[in-house]
Amino acid sequence: PYAMDRYINETGRLYGVLNKRLAGRDFIAGEYSIADMASYPWIVPHERHMQKIADFPHLKRWFDRVAARPATIRAYEGVAASYSKPMTDEERKILFGQSAATVTA
């Protein structure tokens, strides 16, 4: 599990950087911007990243604030259902079975 530990720890470090950045401000760049829009999807799967978002209070506050925005709610409607369905063999082949040899010009 070296690889797992490495990426869990790196994710925690990055959450910490973002947590520090959000101390004393509502959004990453001060006001809501593309920085927040681009960063939010990386925090949504915090449980799969094996991160306890409560350990990052500024990040959690920001996450909850962005999650409550009407546009975020609309964007994520129905997403959970698509993640909960099992992947077909064909989908798995497309997602994980590609290499340089399978690329066609």
Contact 77, 39 (CB under 8 A): no
Reported pTM: 0.78
* Residue ranges covered by each domain of the chain: 2-102
25-57 residue pLDDT tens: 999 999 999 999 999 999 999 999 999 999 999
Compute the residue count for the chain. Answer: 105
φ, ψ at 56 (rounded to 5°): -125, 80
CATH fold of 2-102 reads Glutathione S-transferase Yfyf (Class Pi); Chain A, domain 2 (1.20.1050)
62-87 residue pLDDT tens: 999 999 999 999 999 978 777 777 88
